[in-house]
Amino acid sequence: MAPASPDGLRVIILGGGISGLTTALALTKYAPKGQVPKIDIFEIRPEPATIGGAVNLTPNALRMLDHLGALPIIRERDYGRTIDYLEVFDIYSGKLAESSFQGPEGKGIGNPPYKALRITRGDALKGVLEAVNRQENITMTCGKRTVSIDEKEDGVTLQFEDGGSASGELLMGCDGIHSVTRLKHVEPERQATYSGVANAFGFAPIDKDFKVHFECTAINFARRGMLLTSYHSSKGDSVYVGGLMQVPDVGSRDGWKSVGADADKTRGQLMERFGDAKIPCIKPLIEKAQDFFLWPVYTLSKHGKWSTNRVMLLGDAAHAMPPQGESTGIVFEDTVLFSRCLTKWLEKGRPGGNMREAFDAYEKLRKHRIEVAFEESKSVVSTVSDAGWLGHTIKTYVVPWYLWFTRSYREKHFIEDVTTVDIGY
């Protein structure tokens, strides 16, 4: 691919996770002709973090990854497993409902059609990272901790803990829920808060004769949480086991790390909540799962500041919310939509000196969608919170009705393509 152009923007991205990497790809793909940006990504970890659970990439997420050149790499490497439909179960009585990604002709949703893909965060990151490595204009440096951000009229300068610095015309804060960009510069008072639920997950190796109750992915509701069981590769020799459940706050990030490091205790919590399942494979899967982690789910307040004149927050740094089925796709759409707004500003000759016009256009397009998603995510917390017999029984009646009632609404989002939507300025 082409190197950075002399007239291209100088961009700094804080965060070498999937949000930061896809932002770099989008800014490169949608740059005006002859204005390929020079992009420097800085990651606080010593290397890109390839650990994590398994996520569901919905059709809109796959569409964005295809546009950005990462999906072909993921397909070539046979990462993940295609999902025709999600299955929903009550662990005490059996199957409740399905949520399909097959579309009217069985090929997927949208034009061109996409189904869904269950993939580990690590494999998704590897695919996107390879796409980034193929771009000459993008560099990534790991092990960089930012200690200060200084924004002036014509640019932004970062100072790092090791004494180094970096300067650019635009800073993208893609550094997650505990964003340094937000906390040191954009809106320091907007702190992440614990949602009351945590995700306990591991991976269970299985042999060919092991019988599961699902085709690819099962959402298993219980009185005290929800357990996700899913294949995550074409081989079918491993099942992702992830429990979303109500867990008391331990008070600090270090405290959560300590609690999360005790895999046997985490396994015990899952057995306590889901071990009485009438579905035969659930208890053995929990017993077989290895390398359990416990991750608290943090959120940000619904309304907040996303930008200054030359700094923009994207993804969880701007709008972290509980997982609600489309979270990863929302991040990918953020990156593409923002890049299109910025490109329009560049094509107009950078009016006004700073980037406020592009930022305002993006936020006007995006904030309503995020606020709707935020409201939807609240139901996740209530659905997985502890409930008595009556509350759980009501849930088993409500969930199938809700999936049926909201089907067309979900498919509308799966079809949406932010690469073509009118950006309005």
CB 16 within 8 A of CB 142: yes
The rounded percent of the chain whose pLDDT value lies above 90 is: 67
Whether pLDDT at 251 is above 80: no
Token readout for 66 is: 């295809």
Give the model's pLDDT for residue 245. 85
Cβ atoms of 399 and 221 within 8 Å: the answer is yes
Compute the distance between CA of residue 291 and CA of residue 263 in angstroms, rounded to an integer: 7
Q: What is the pLDDT of residue 350?
A: 87
Residue 176 makes CB contacts below 8 A (sequence gap 6+) with 15, 17, 19, 315, 316, 317, 320
Q: Tell me the mean pLDDT in the region 261-284.
A: 91
Per residue, the 3-state secondary structure of the chain, as one string, reads CCCCCCCCCEEEEECCCHHHHHHHHHHHHCCCCCCCCEEEEEECCCCCCCCCCEEEECHHHHHHHHHCCCHHHHHHCCEEEEECEEEEEECCCEEEEEEECCCCCCCCECCCCECEEEEEHHHHHHHHHHHHHCCCCEEEEECCCEEEEEEECCEEEEEECCCCEEEECEEEECCCCCCHHHHHHHCCCCCCEEEEEEEEEEEEECCCCCCCCCCCEEEEEECCEEEEEEECECCCCEEEEEEEEECCCCCCHHHHHHHHCCHHHHHHHHHHHHCCCCCCCHHHHHHHCEEEEEEEEEECCCCCCCECCCEEECCHHHHCCCCCCCHHHHHHHHHHHHHHHHHHHHHCCCCCCCCHHHHHHHHHHHHHHHHHHHHHHHHHHHHHCCCCHHHHHHHHHHHHHHHHHCHHHHHHHHHCCCCCCCCCC
Residue 343 CA to residue 341 CA, distance in Å, equals: 5
- Nearest 5°: phi and psi at 288? -80, -25
42 pLDDT band (50/70/90 cuts)? very high
Report whether pLDDT(157) > 60: yes
pLDDT, position 137:
97
Mean pLDDT of 14-22: 95
Q: What is the pLDDT of residues 305-364, one digit of tens each?
A: 999 999 999 999 999 887 755 567 889 999 999 999 999 999 998 887 779 999 999 999
Task: Supply φ then ψ for residue 224, to 5 degrees.
Answer: -130, 55
Domain spanning 10-192+301-415, CATH architecture: 3-Layer(bba) Sandwich (3.50)
Please check the confidence at residue 51 and state whether its pLDDT lies above 80: no
**3-state SS track over 397-414:** HHHHHHHHHCHHHHHHHH
Output the average pLDDT for the chain: 90
Core vs surface per residue 303-330: b (16+ CB within 10 A) or e:
ebebbbebbbbbbbbbbbbbbbbbbbbb
pTM of the model: 0.93
The edge-to-edge listing of strands for the beta sheet with 217-222 is 94-100, 85-90, 217-222, 225-231, 238-246, 193-205, 290-299
Strands 225-231 and 217-222, by their bridges, are antiparallel
Q: How confident is the model at residue 264 (pLDDT cuts 50, 70, 90)?
A: confident
What's the pLDDT score for residue 226?
A: 92
Structure token digits, residue 78 = 């046979």
Arithmetic mean of pLDDT, 203-229 = 94
Does the structure show a pLDDT above 70 at 258?
no
pLDDT at 69: 96
List, for residues 373-406, the tens digit of each pLDDT value.
Answer: 888 777 777 777 778 778 888 888 888 777 777 7
Domain boundaries, the chain: 10-192+301-415
Tens-digit pLDDT profile for residues 160-190: 999 999 999 999 999 999 999 999 999 999 9
Q: For the beta carbon of residue 336, count every other beta carbon within 10 angstroms.
A: 24
